[in-house]
Every structure is written in structure tokens, then in C-alpha cells.
Amino acid sequence: MIAMAFVLSMAAAPPSAEAATKAAIARVRRVDPAIHAVIALDPTAIAQARALDRSRAARGALFGMPILIKDNIETTGPLPTTAGSMALLGNVTGRDAPLVARLRASGAVILGKTNLSEWANMRSSASISGWSAVGGQTRNPHALDRDPCGSSSGSGAAVAAGLTDAAIGTETDGSITCPASVNGIVGLKPTVGLVSRTHVVPISHSQDTPGPMTKDVRTAALVLQAIAGTDPADGATAEADAHRGDYAAALRPDALKGVRIGVMRFVGPWSPAVEAVFARALDVLRAQGATLVDVAAPKDRERIGPAELAVLLTELKVDLNAYLATTPATVPSRTLADLIAFNRANPRELALFGQDSFEKAQATKGLSDPAYRAARALSLRLAGRDGIDALLAANGVTALMAPTMPPAWKIDVVNGDQVAGSGPADLAAVAGYPHLTVPMGAVRGLPIGLSFVGPAWSEARLLGYGYAYEQASGARLAPTFAPSVEGDAATAPLLAPLHPATPTPVSVR
């Protein structure tokens, strides 16, 4: 029934913003109980839509489009911005993040808030992606016992399930591209500084960025066009207006013709099944006129991770304390230390995994610490100048590509996330460069994404490449909402014995 509901949801768009919004609310109420992607619907959504229908102003590019917002991004109205934590249940700020204000100005309807990995997956090194104390466990709509990845898990699962055509996620390292990949949708992590972070619950001012998560590349381009731009309150966006482009204009079916793209075979490792899907993707790219060049791993890549972690822990304490100071008095936790104490006092918060990352962050020494400064300089150089930039220049390529992530793993409350391999997200995240993932195919019904990574401000180019690949491959997969991969009609017989043994009768006396 749910699978059929998804098909019906993709029918022709309703004729008004109000009709589109009511249809989206109905889909959420019908489908979301199976996946827990939505923390809350905005009770003002229909009123927003009616106001749009009445308005005599020019209709924006997103007119009447219901959009879901990750619940670490503030929206005006009665909904709190919780970051998935019970500590922020009173965080009703009455303000729109600038990116949300830009969505409204483009005609979008803010439908509600999506679940996320609590605190954007920065509370514990043994977390379960897609879980938060407020929202519970988001499930992957392609197999309900599989993880949706995080931290933008609800945004990814919601779009995959057809609840809306677009949602907003945030990424510090992989939090847009991973859930987009494993849920089988398009995700774009922009250049850090293209989209404002004001009124977004932070991890790291060096790496945080919001971005679009959408049903297809064209929708991603339209949403990015709406949310990109300079914000005087966020110094990182000073150059955004100068670099903001017409992203929809870059979407040409022949965008891959004559381009050279670097193939990052050093990321992974991948299973033979993933390698087979990737090989087919490379064939599609070649058929579209791209020249593919294998590139070697950048020097000292293994040093990026430890340096990045030192940066994230230091900036988490500084940036989160600064954010909490702006929240209303109804939020009792005013510092990271307060949050640590709150979690210890509330059993639900720590019942599945701990808060070791919070505790390590609390022990850091601030932005003037020489160790922090050295770690930031090292990670930025290795990922940027000596990483992506060097690979592009040395190989004469305009972008880099690889599988985004392995297929979704099972939700595991005993061991936490168990991920078999990782993709190129770290290089783009640490460098602050754009990273686009588009559906590439699937292994036993579990989607896999194809990543395109480029230099700073190359979003239009990457969207063009992704669009051309999307149009040629037709790799998008509708979810089945199956209880598990193992139970489907093709797989279940393979897990049973060929000749079931007849049990020997046991005499009971």
C-alpha cells in the first residue's frame, strides 16, 4: 500500500499552493509512520499556502512547493528547533534562518521539520545514525530495518519516500551526501560560504553548510538558486553573491561531452557488487562523451581525519556555546557543559549510546589554542591545496568522481553504525568544496550514489554533470518500504536450505 502511495504522490502537481500543501500533509500522515522522517508538521503550512495563492506578487521559482527543513535550522512559528535533543524542546526562537526566509521569498511552503541524527551526529563516536531522543529512529524507505545515514537522515528519507520533492539538510562531513546516497536521492553540499549558517545549530564554522536534498537534479538547482547568497551576519558568505550562478541554466543533457573527470579509485573499499554498479556508471559517462582519468590518492590523506576531528571538537564547544547564548530563556542549557549535565540527568538521552564527543569537546582550549590552529591549517592544506586542487591540476580534470557510500547498513542498537567503506566526503568537507551525489544504481534494492566533487564555487558545473548523468542513466529507484532485504521474494529462498532437513522426533517422557 505504501509503495503505491509513493507512485500516486508523484502524479501531476496540484493546481495551487494550498492543494499542493494539503496533498503533502496527507502523504506525511499516510507514509511517515513507517519511517519517522518528520519530527513535526508546521501548523501554519496551509495558511502559508493560502497567502501565496492570494498574493499578487510575482510567483517565485519554488511557488507552492512544500519543503521540509532539518530540525537544526530555525523557522519562525510555533515549532521548536531541537537538533533532536530534549534539551532544546523549548527552543522556539520566532526567527527564520536566512536560508528559510529565502525559500519563502521564492514561493516555497515550509511544511515542517525533519528528524536527524541528534546534534548532527556529533554527540558520540558510537552513535546510531538517524536516531534522536526527540524523533526516535528514522528508517530507510528502501528497507525498513536499514539505516538512513545521517545526520540529515529525515530529510533524505522524506524525499525518497515521496513526502516532498525537496528538503534542506546540513553537512559538516557527509551529512547531506551520505543520506542522499543511501536513500536514493540527489544531495548537494555547497561550497562553505555559499549558503548562510545564521540561526542553524552549529558544529563547525569551518565546515558547516546547509544544502538541498531533492528528488532530481533540476529541483536541487532551483532550491540552491533560492537559498544561496550573502548574509551580513555570516562572514563566510561575503563572496556568495559574486559566485552565485544560474544553476538551472547549467542543466544540459550534453554537459559531459568533451570533459575530463578524475576517477578516485582510492576511496572505498567497495564490495564486488558496488564495483559492478560503478563500472556501469563509468560506461554511461563515457557514452556521454566524458574522458575518465584514474587519479592517485593525495599525499598524506590519512592525516586529514585526526586533524579534522581536533578542529571539529574545538569549534563545537565555541560555536555551540555562542548559539545557545542566543536561545530563549525557555532553553535551560546555556553551554555545552550544561548539555552534558542535562544528558546525564535524562535516561532517554543516553540509553542507546553516550556522549564521548561532547565530553572531548568540553575539554578543548578554544580557537587560540596552537594545537587547534595547527590542525586546521594541516587539514585544510591536505584536503584543499594539496588534495582536491592538486588532483585537478595534475590530471587536467575539471571534477573528481567516485561512489558516494556503500549501500545502507542495518540499524544496530548494540554496536552502533557498522559501515563497510566510505567515499570522498571527507576531502570536500574539510576543503569546504562542493560535493554532489546523484543516484547511480542499487544492490539488492539498496541505492548507491555517484559523487561529483569540484573546486570552490563549481556548483553549476557539478550540477550540469549530474544532470547529464541522471538523464542518461535513469538510475533513480522508487522505494518499496520492504521490512528487510532478506525477506524479499528473490532473496529469502536463497537464505533457506536447499533440502530442509526433517527434524528427528524427540521422545518426551
Q: Cα 435–196–230 angle (5° rounding)?
A: 105
Res 453 pLDDT > 70: yes
User: What average pLDDT does the segment 87-105 reach?
Assistant: 98
In-domain check, residue 315: yes
Res 282 pLDDT > 80: yes
- Residue 504: what pLDDT? 67
In-domain check, residue 428: yes
User: What average pLDDT does the segment 147-156 reach?
Assistant: 98
In-domain check, residue 502: no
151 catalytic residue (yes or no): yes
Least-confidence region, from 57-71, 277-291, 347-361, 417-431: 417-431
CA distances for 297 relative to 260, 327, 429, angstroms: 17, 43, 16
Exposure string of 240-255, with b = 16+ CB inside 10 Å and e = fewer, is beebbbebbebbeeeb
In-domain check, residue 395: yes
Residue 165: closest CA among 139, 185, 150, 145: 185
Cα Dmax for the chain: 86
In-domain check, residue 187: yes
d(CA 281, CA 266): 17
More confident residue, 430 or 5: 430
Q: How far is CA 202 from the centre of its chain?
A: 15
Res 506 pLDDT > 70: no
* Cα torsion through 342, 348, 349, 352, rounded to 10: 150
Rounded percentage of the chain residues whose pLDDT exceeds 70: 95
Res 152 pLDDT > 90: yes
422 catalytic residue (yes or no): no
d(CA 99, CA 277): 36
State pLDDT tens for residues 283-314: 999 999 999 999 999 999 999 999 999 999 99
- Residue 422: what pLDDT? 86
Res 8 pLDDT > 70: no
Average pLDDT along the chain: 95
- Residue 508: what pLDDT? 60
State pLDDT tens for residues 197-211: 999 999 999 999 999
In-domain check, residue 307: yes
- Number of structural domains found in the chain: 1
State pLDDT tens for residues 27-49: 999 999 999 999 999 999 999 99
d(CA 36, CA 137): 7
Residue 318: closest CA among 430, 172, 204: 204
Q: What is the pTM of this model?
A: 0.95
In-domain check, residue 490: no
More confident residue, 335 or 12: 335
CA distances for 465 relative to 11, 280, 405, 423, 471, angstroms: 27, 16, 19, 19, 10
Decide if 449 contacts 436 (C-beta within 8 A). no
Q: Which of 70, 113, 215, 317 is catalytic?
A: 70
Q: Cα 81–363–178 angle (5° rounding)?
A: 50
- Residue 507: what pLDDT? 64
State pLDDT tens for residues 100-120: 999 999 999 999 999 999 999
In-domain check, residue 488: no
**Domain, as residue range, for 78:** 2-473
- Residue 15: what pLDDT? 73
State pLDDT tens for residues 376-403: 999 999 999 999 999 999 999 999 999 9
Res 10 pLDDT > 60: no
CATH label of the domain that carries residue 109: 3.90.1300.10
357 catalytic residue (yes or no): no
- Residue 503: what pLDDT? 67
Res 6 pLDDT > 60: no
pLDDT band at 325 (very low <50, low <70, confident <90, very high): very high
- Residue 420: what pLDDT? 78
Q: Which of 151, 155, 196, 458 is catalytic?
A: 151
Q: Which of 175, 204, 206, 357 is catalytic?
A: 175
Helix, strand or coil, per DSSP, at residue 211: strand
- Residue 1: what pLDDT? 42
